[in-house]
Chains A and B, each alone.
Chain A
Amino acid sequence: MNVSDVVLSCRVRLARNIDEFPFPSKLSKEQTCDLTEKIVGASKSFGEFNHVKISDLNPNERNRFVEKHLVSHELISCDNASFLVNEQETLSVMICEEDHMRIQCILPSLDLYSADKLSFSADKAFAEKLSYSQSPRFGYLTACPTNLGTGMRASAMIHLAGLTMAKQTDSLFRQIQKLGVLVRGFYGEGSAALGGIYQLSNQFTLGVSEDDIIETLDRTLNRIAEQEMNIREVLYQKNKTLIEDVIMRSFGICKYAKRLPYDEFMSHISNIKLGISLGILSNIPMQSADELLIKCQSASLALHMAENNIKAPDDVARAEYLRNNFFNMERYI
């Protein structure tokens, strides 16, 4: 078992605003166009980006980008907003969300240092073409003072199936909150932690350096991942039949169910991921389970149905997708 069995992905997000423009809530339509053009123009010096306008997307297409964690819920509800995304979908820039720019880098597993490096190289390239709003005291000026200073929000998605089973998450979260680490659900602020998946991020952005933020979060995540891996082994050794039963039941349901509501799917995929890491479902690559996690979210599923002309309720389509695309493969048993 290794850290990538526990940490799904990590992200570094930088909030930046451009001088001479008010914050997005005060921008006129013309100013938004002007600013967007400047940002898109500046991106050309850094690499190939696809510029996607929110107004060009239907609701399912909008939500699919949220489900991939490439953009936020707030961005897709704003018709004037847009975003830049590279081909690998590792780097994206939200334009005119809460701030003028939100540069973000997402990488699989726990690799915050690389995410930091990549987002900062993009940041540096933009800074050469655009004049950022900064002050000697507060650093990067942001629309909401909770992002002042570094404007940096580093986070990771961590799967705590073992600690959740052992009911140890509450005391753990109390401890890490003292270190300035925030715990949220699967889709960030205000969302539920379905399937034992949590988002951990830095709480403070001012009076700390970017290096401190990355280092603290990386150290905390490594420590939690280690605890999670240990507890998985202990739980399995002490309750072999019980754990195998839970995992195989989830596998059976995903393989044979005719309808699968979202919440139920999340708890089964959590058990399947646990089974893979313990070697009980050793033939399934963890990457496939992680892909399923995204593909079986509502909007991604709705787009798959539209593309393949499938007309069925959400939970029926989800079960069918699992049966046809994944669990029909006998080699997984």
Chain B
Amino acid sequence: MNIHPTTAGMLLAGILFVLGLISILVRRDIIFMLLSVEVMLNAAGLAFVVASAHWGRADGQVMFIFILAMAAAEVSVGLALILQLYHQLKTLDSDEAAKMNG
């Protein structure tokens, strides 16, 4: 096999991203959905680092750091929201929180 390293890295990132996407689509448990978001964010970060390696520039890695910070903030707020949801509805089913329908 003689795949270009950049291509290989990108493919891995793409596969991980799509796996996270499948998970977020099929799950109803809201913690699983948060987990899937983490997987997707991680895949996106990987893609940045691969690109950074390809061009030999630091910008991609800088972006990874930003994504990391963003993921941390997102998880903390997301968990707080889930906590509230659980207290309000006594369930983690995201379909239960469908009151804002048209």
Partners in one complex: no
- Residues of A in contact with B (beta carbons under 8 Å apart): none
